[in-house]
Structure 1
Amino acid sequence: MHAIQEWVNSHLIEWGIISSSATEIDNLIVLLLIILATVAIDYICRYIFLNMFKRLAKRTRNQWDDLIVERKIINKLMHMIPAILVYALLPLAFPPDETPKLLGILQMICQIYIIAVSLRFINASLNVVHEIYNRKESLKNKPLKGFIQLLQVAVFFIGFILIISILIGKSPTTLFAGLGASAAILMLVFKDTILGFVAGIQLSANDMLRPGDWITMAKYGADGTVIEVTLNAVKVKNFDNTITTIPPYALVSDAFQNWRGMSESPGRRIKRSINIDMNSVCFCTPEMLSKFRKISLLTDYIDEKEKELKAYNEEHHIDASILVNGRRQTNIGVFRSYLVNYLRSLPAVSKELTCMVRQLQPTETGIPIELYFFSSIKEWVLYEGIQADVFDHVMAVIPEFGLSVFQNVSGSDLRSLKVPQ
């Protein structure tokens, strides 16, 4: 390269250019030749290595190499080759003993460019790592984005320090030592990031939260699906399609409800009661029992229960002429048994989980009969439909047992009263 520089210099002098100008021009010509050579080498490397990697990616079944090709990670890495070559060959165009300042400036620009390209490559690589892990079923719902973001922040922070050290001509260790002295200020500036990182570790280690979980947090008005977990925010898409952002550390310090357990369980709970008027409760007469026997869900129950009660009353010599004596069936007891058999007969009711009908403490609004069971269908719209169908049937069947629903007096009830003239 030095011989080429002398040959160019001599020809420039022959063409009438003065010696000082010829030296500057031949330096620029050598620089141009260096740039052309590096561009050519860059093109050859891209053509050879990039095409080779693409062919290998097509032959393999792995997803990571396809993502590397799609996200052009190799292209970003190749951008470093020209900058490194130019940095190494610059002394040929601008000898240190002749133009030390210009050489220093150009090499500083190359160094900054190399660092910037490296940061871009590392950032893109971390994004690809995050995408690869998201495609794995075992790690798909782990909040890894916060850790990736922390690595990206750390990488860019180190890159920024390196660039500053190049510009001011100081060692990076000197800058890092100075930053150590101002750690309190840095902790104040990056307080939310540090808290978010610590909270992210706790959420992940304890498996408290995953993207895709349905959570409820009344304090922040959140009731929906977690769509993203980052260092500074957990984004929740509410069922009204609004987005609520929650600081990650709030999920650790405050209480929130995660419905994942329900989603992963065999069923979703339905717990609802209906109030029966206490005045409609009575002992079952033979006519009532004969009517109840015709109900297919009660036939076996009525027969077995009657045998049990008859055997008990005969054993204890009960006087059956008085209803209070002995044990007898009541219309509300038969009604509860009917509801249990009815729920168990429904295909949408889980057979693995608890299914019961219980009587709660009577109040001034009647006797609460609570239905406690689990729907095997957990999807919201269908779940609400099943719940409504069950209670539609319950309210419609109550009069068949001689019972009545308790309901407070309304305006229409008062208007229907006939006032004596």
Structure 2
Amino acid sequence: MNQEKLIVYSSFIQNLLVDQGMQEGWAIFLNVIINCIIVAIGLLIIGGLFRQLVVALFSAFSGKTKTSFDDYLVQSNFPRFIARLLPLSILWFLIPILFAESTFVAELVFALLKVYLVILWILIFRSILRSIHRYLEGKERFGDKPMESYVQVLMIFAWGIGIFWIIQLLTGYSIKSLATLGAASAVILLIFKDTILGFVASIQVSVNDLVRIGDWITFEKFGADGDVVEINLATVRVQNWDKTYTTIPTYSLISDSFKNWRGMSESGGRRIKRSIYIKQSTIKFLSPEDLERFKKIELVKPYIEHRQRDIEKYNAAKNVNKEIQINGRNQTNLGVFRHYMDTYINANSAIHKDLSLMVRHLAPTDKGIPLEIYCFSRDQRWVNYEHIQADIFEHLLAALPYFDLEVFESPTGTDFQKLN
């Protein structure tokens, strides 16, 4: 069916209204409105059905192939963007029919449709780039390559070309003639440098998801330590824990280093990393009497018994002379206490068991041997987190004397008085 016949059919309502005595101008206007509504409903139905068909075909095809690239195409909405081309093609064909009485309106709608097509092709290009990025990320060869940077550069070029192309479609100026604006652009860049930097930074912050409203960030350069409450073109506003506000230039978020605690919030835990400094002179091998005394401590009794059986078996096999305690293998009070700390932390319901959890030695210092606890509390709220941490260390400090250990402390005036 050619366009001439469709134009005749599209004028049915117009002719009917004219026959009923309506003025021709109003009849044409109502005819266009009704036809546009009918076409819009039809295109929505056709577009929805075609989109479901294309997505289903892509999903079925990707499920049968060995490569994961087509899976990433589906995840990046590539089929949905492609499916939009059919209703747009139909609309392109129908525009001269819908607006046969007004060439100006038809040209205006054509121009808007061309702009939308340019944007649609950019979105299709972006979905392909994202799919390639995700696909190459899974390859060992490209695992250490900055693929995200390459994608961003290509997208900047794509949007730049698309904007120039849209300007050409709307104004009629060729892309080559736009190059004459270089001198004026240089002046604009000089005058609005800060605004442009803030605009670019705000886009990068948003695209790279560096900061969101509600994130806890620490920015030592500006004295900021608190929640982000506002992000705009020029500044980021942070409410510190003392309820003061700090304003940070948006560009600083991409030019300087800062700490975002969002990862901690999403992990489900808050890190506890603190050491107890053990006085080195209190560390010793355990005698049989010490072992019997320590067995009364329930958390370490199974460990001591199991460990002692292994040690005795080893020493007997090696015929070790135990007249001197250093010979062979032995247990120490520090080792038993370290196991006590580990067992106590594991038994604490406030500690997250799915995240890293350990008790470790650090290198000896002039302040003693650091015995560090590294774990994560389940409760991330600051006050509760501090209470959990305090409860743990209060208990462990009180438990030290039961293992014949002492915490290192620098001598005070009272200590020197006792010596005198």
Q: What TM-score do the two structures reach when normalised by structure 2?
A: 0.56
Identity, in percent, stands at: 52
Q: Give the structure 2 partner of residue 262 of structure 1.
A: 264
Matches within 5 A, 1:162-201: 182-201=184-203
Matches within 5 A, 1:38-77: none
1:112-145 C-alpha deviation (Å, 9 max, x unpaired): xxxxxxxxxxxxxxxxxxxxxxxxxxxxxxxxxx
Aligned letter for 1:410?
Answer: T
Give the secondary structure class of the aligned counterpart of 2:305. Answer: helix
1:374/1:177 Cα in 2 relative to 1: closer, same or farther (>3 Å)? closer
Matches within 5 A, 1:212-227: 212-227=214-229
Matches within 5 A, 1:73-88: none
CA–CA separation in structure 1 for the residues paired with 2:357 and 2:259: 24
- Whether contact under 8 Å (1:266, 1:352) holds in the other structure is no
**Distance apart, 1:184 and its partner CA:** 3.4
Q: Give the structure 2 partner of residue 328 of structure 1.
A: 330
Give the secondary structure class of the aligned counterpart of 1:227. Answer: strand
Matches within 5 A, 1:201-350: 201-350=203-352
Unpaired runs of at least 5, structure 1: 1-172
Unpaired runs of at least 5, structure 2: 1-172
1:314/1:186 Cα in 2 relative to 1: closer, same or farther (>3 Å)? same
Matches within 5 A, 1:130-141: none
CA–CA separation in structure 2 for the residues paired with 1:318 and 1:203: 66
CA–CA separation in structure 1 for the residues paired with 2:180 and 2:247: 35
Pick aligned residue for 2:389 from 379, 383, 387: 387
CA–CA separation in structure 1 for the residues paired with 2:412 and 2:272: 29
Q: CA RMSD in A?
A: 2.1
Q: Does 1:407 align with 2:409?
A: yes
CA–CA separation in structure 2 for the residues paired with 1:366 and 1:331: 15
**Distance apart, 1:246 and its partner CA:** 0.8
CA–CA separation in structure 1 for the residues paired with 2:323 and 2:216: 60
CA–CA separation in structure 1 for the residues paired with 2:392 and 2:196: 50
CA–CA separation in structure 2 for the residues paired with 1:360 and 1:266: 27
Q: Give the structure 2 partner of residue 368 of structure 1.
A: 370
CA–CA separation in structure 2 for the residues paired with 1:373 and 1:249: 35
CA–CA separation in structure 2 for the residues paired with 1:296 and 1:190: 71
CA–CA separation in structure 1 for the residues paired with 2:181 and 2:283: 80
1:364/1:178 Cα in 2 relative to 1: closer, same or farther (>3 Å)? closer
CA–CA separation in structure 2 for the residues paired with 1:180 and 1:373: 58
1:11-30 C-alpha deviation (Å, 9 max, x unpaired): xxxxxxxxxxxxxxxxxxxx
1:157-179 C-alpha deviation (Å, 9 max, x unpaired): xxxxxxxxxxxxxxxx9xx9999
1:41-69 C-alpha deviation (Å, 9 max, x unpaired): xxxxxxxxxxxxxxxxxxxxxxxxxxxxx
CA–CA separation in structure 1 for the residues paired with 2:229 and 2:255: 21
Give the secondary structure class of the aligned counterpart of 1:317. Answer: coil
CA–CA separation in structure 2 for the residues paired with 1:206 and 1:311: 59
